[in-house]
Structure 1
Amino acid sequence: MSPTPMAERYRLHIENIRTQHPIFHITPERYAAAEARHPELAPRLDATIGWDLEDYRAAAAEADFLIGWKLPFATIAQDAPRLRWMHLIGAGIEHALPLDWLPADVAITTNRGVATKAGEYVAMAVLALNTRIPLFASNKAQRVWQREFVSGVEGKTALIVGMGNLGRSGALRCKGLGMHVIGVRESGAPIEGVDEMHRPNALPALLPRADVLVLAVPLTTKTRGLIGAAELALMKPGAGLVNIGRAASVDQPALGAALRSGHLGGAVLDVFETEPLPPDAPEWDWPNAILTPHVAADDVARYMPDTLDLFFKNFQRVLDGQPLINRVDPDRQY
C-alpha cells in the first residue's frame, strides 16, 4: 500500500546533521539542482531545509513528507501529525528499530540502491585478499619481508551473504573476475548471474567452500551474530572475509581471534559497531585486516543527487497512487 495522495501541493521538510560528512547534506543548492531535473514535480512541493533539529518541530508540524536520517522517532506522531511518508537517506534502519513508534498510515522508504560503488569495493577487497595485501600491510608495519605466492581468483569461490543492491553489485564484479559466485538470501530465490542461490540455513554447508566470504546484510534480529566462532571455524584455512553490511552480523571477538590465529588469511572491513572507531578499539591491532571508515559504497559525486532523484521518483508514485520504491516492511526490519 502506498501513501494516499492528499492535496494539490505538499510540504516537505529536509533535516540535516552538521556532524555528518557533507556528502550526506541536502543543501539548498543540491535541492535546487534536483528541482531543475524534475520541473514537472518540483512546483508541487513547498520544501524547507533544517539543521540539527533547530527548527524541526515547527517544520514537522506542517510536513506531509520528511527526509532525514536521525529524527526524533519516538515523538513523530505528535511532532508531525500530517506526515504520510518519511525517506531515510541511508539503507539500514537499525537506528530506528523497533518500529513501534511508526504510525500505521506512515510509510518509510530508504536509500537502497543509491550506494553505487559497492561492487568496485568488493572487487578491490577480493583481489586484495587473494593477493595477500592485508598480510603485506601488516608485515610492513613490522618491517617483515615475507614472500607469499598465490594463484589468481579465476575459478575460486565467493560466498555472498545478503543479495540486496550491495550484494548483487558485488556478485556481478566477482563474476567478472571469473569467480564462482554463491549467493545467500532469505528467500533463496535465483538471481541472474549468480551461480547458486541458497537460504541462510545452508550456511554451514556453504562456508567450507568459500575462498572469500562477503557480508552485505542489513542488521536485523535474524542477522545479528549471524557469523560467530562456529561459522568462522567452518571456513577453509586462509580464506578471507569482507564486510560491507553491518559489523554486528559478525561476532567481533571471534573474528579477531580467527585473524590472530591465522585461520583466516585476512579481512577487509568497512563497518564497525561503534563509528567512528575509537582509538583504543581492538580492531586496530588485528593482524592481516584492512579497515576502511564506512566508505565502501557512497559516491561523493552521485550520492545526494541520486538520493533526491529517488525521492522525486517516489513522489511521482505518491501522486499516481503506486507502491513506493524501497518501502520498509516493519516485520522484516528493512
Structure 2
Amino acid sequence: MKVHVKNNRWKPGSFPNTPEGEEVFTITQARLDDALAEYPDLKGRADYVVDWDTDNFASSMRDADVLLTWDLPMADLATVAPRLKWIHCIGAGVEHMLPISDWLPKGVVLTNNKGVHAAKAGEFGLMAVLMLHSKMPAIVTNQRNEVYDSLYASPIAGRTLVVLGTGSLGGAGAQAVQKLGVHVIGVNRSGQPVDGCDEVVTTDHLDEVLPRADYLLIATPDTPQTRGLMDRRRLDLMKPGAGIINIGREAVMDYGALCDKLQDGSLGGAILDVFDPEPIAADSRLWATPNLIITPHVSADDGDAYVPMTLGLFFRNMRLFLDDQPLLNPVRPELGY
C-alpha cells in the first residue's frame, strides 16, 4: 500500500498562512517515523512518499492508495489517482474542498482532523470568555489610546454563554466554561444533549436564545447552512454589552455589522480568531475597531503537538482501513463536515 503525503510551502494567501505555520503543520519523514514507533503493527505495511505542494503529485498519485493532505488538485481525480481509496484532511474544516460531491470519486472516503483541536480550543474558549467578562478588549483599547479607566467585573458565575456549534471545539469550550458556574446553552443541528451544556436547542431556535446570552462562542464550520448565520439582524438580538468570540469561520458572521456594533458601543467586546483572507489585509477596519481583540487563527492549534496528534489519529484510522472497517471522522459530502 502507498500513502502520499502532500505538504504545503507557506505563501501569501495560502495554507499555512504564516511562515511559522509551515513548521507547525509540515509532516516530515522524521515525524512519520516517530509516530509510527507508537504503532509497531503498522510498520512495513505501507510506503510513504513525502512531498511538497504538487511537485510530484501527478506521478505519485498514479499508484497511491491513501492521500494525507490539507488540500489537493481536484480535477479528474479518479483518472489521476485510480487506486485512491481514502483521503485524510489534516484540518477539521473542509470548506476549502466544497462542494465535495463535485470532485470526490465514488468509493473514496474523506476523513478530517476533528477532535485533534479539542483540548487547545477548550482552553482558548475559557480564556476568551473570561477576557470578555473582565472587559479586556476595552482595557486593551484604552491602553492603545493611553486611557486609564477602572473597569471592574464581578465573578462570572450565573452568567449565560451561548455556544453556536457544539462539536469538538465548541463542546470543549462549553465544558471548560460550565465549571465556573456559567449557564451554557448549546445550539446545534440536531438538538441532542451535549456534555457541558445545560440546555441544547436546534439552530432554528437561535433567535430565541441569543437575547439571553452574556457571551456568544461561535465554533461552527463554514458550510452552506452556516454562512451568514450571525448576520446584522441576529447581532441586533443580543443584549447591550454582550461579548462575542468566533473560533469557527468568518463566513458565519457579518464582520462589518460586528464592527459597527463595537464602534457604537452596543456590544461590549469581541475576540476574533478566524478571517478570510488570512492574514488580514493591512487596510482592514478590523485593526482599528475598538473593544476588539484579534488573534491570528491560533485558538485550536497546538504548535508543538499538532502533527503528532494528527498522525496519531491517522494511524488509528490506518488500522481500521487495513481491516476494512469504518473510519473515524468521515466527512459527509452533503453536509460539508
| TM-score normalized by the length of structure 2 | 0.95
What residue is the counterpart of 1:67 in the other structure? 68
Within 5 Å, give how 1:186-205 maps onto structure 2.
186-205=189-208
* 1:114 aligns to 2:105 (yes or no): no
1:256 to 250, 254, 259: 259
What residue is the counterpart of 1:16 in the other structure? 7
* 1:168 aligns to 2:171 (yes or no): yes
After the TM superposition, list the runs of 4 or more consecutive aligned residues in structure 1 that deviate by more than 3 angstroms.
Answer: none
Task: For residues 86-134 of structure 1, give each alpha carbon's deviation from its aligned partner in whole angstroms, at most 9, with x where no partner exists.
Answer: 0000011111111111111111000001113001101110011001000
2:311 to 292, 301, 308: 308
The CA deviation at 1:75 is 3.2
Query: Is 2:171–2:196's contact at 8 Å kept on the other side of the alignment?
Result: no
The CA deviation at 1:151 is 1.7
Q: Distance in 1 between matches of 2:72 and 2:331?
A: 16
Amino acid at match of 1:180: H
Q: Distance in 2 between matches of 1:221 and 1:87?
A: 22
Q: Percent identity?
A: 46
What residue is the counterpart of 2:330 in the other structure? 327
Amino acid at match of 2:294: L
Q: Distance in 2 between matches of 1:231 and 1:152?
A: 27
Q: Distance in 1 between matches of 2:180 and 2:316?
A: 34
Q: Distance in 1 between matches of 2:114 and 2:246?
A: 17
Q: Distance in 1 between matches of 2:134 and 2:53?
A: 44
Amino acid at match of 1:152: P
Q: Distance in 2 between matches of 1:84 and 1:240?
A: 44
Task: For residues 33-72 of structure 1, give each alpha carbon's deviation from its aligned partner in whole angstroms, at most 9, with x where no partner exists.
Answer: 0111111012111111001211111111110000011210
Within 5 Å, give how 1:76-155 maps onto structure 2.
76-99=77-100, 100-115=102-117, 116-155=119-158
Amino acid at match of 2:291: N
DSSP 3-state at the match of 1:40: helix
What residue is the counterpart of 2:13 in the other structure? none
Amino acid at match of 2:75: A
DSSP 3-state at the match of 2:204: helix
Within 5 Å, give how 1:42-57 maps onto structure 2.
42-57=43-58
Q: Distance in 1 between matches of 2:313 and 2:281?
A: 34
Q: Distance in 2 between matches of 1:168 and 1:324?
A: 22
1:207 to 210, 222, 238: 210
1:269 to 272, 276, 295: 272
Within 5 Å, give how 1:269-308 maps onto structure 2.
269-308=272-311
Structure 2 gaps of 5+ residues are 11-15
Amino acid at match of 1:244: I
Q: Distance in 2 between matches of 1:118 and 1:42?
A: 32
| TM-score normalized by the length of structure 1 | 0.96
The CA deviation at 1:282 is 1.3
Amino acid at match of 2:62: A
The CA deviation at 1:279 is 0.9
The CA deviation at 1:198 is 0.4
The CA deviation at 1:270 is 0.3
Task: For residues 302-334 of structure 1, give each alpha carbon's deviation from its aligned partner in whole angstroms, at most 9, with x where no partner exists.
Answer: 211111111111111112222111100011110
Q: Distance in 1 between matches of 2:196 and 2:156?
A: 17
Q: Distance in 2 between matches of 1:193 and 1:67?
A: 32
The CA deviation at 1:229 is 0.9
Query: Is 2:121–2:300's contact at 8 Å kept on the other side of the alignment?
Result: yes
Structure 1 gaps of 5+ residues are 1-9
DSSP 3-state at the match of 1:58: helix
Query: Is 2:176–2:196's contact at 8 Å kept on the other side of the alignment?
Result: no
Q: Distance in 2 between matches of 1:152 and 1:109?
A: 41
Q: How many residues align?
A: 325
DSSP 3-state at the match of 1:43: coil
DSSP 3-state at the match of 1:15: strand
Query: Is 2:241–2:269's contact at 8 Å kept on the other side of the alignment?
Result: yes
The CA deviation at 1:74 is 2.2
Q: Distance in 1 between matches of 2:157 and 2:335?
A: 36
The CA deviation at 1:188 is 0.3
Amino acid at match of 1:128: M
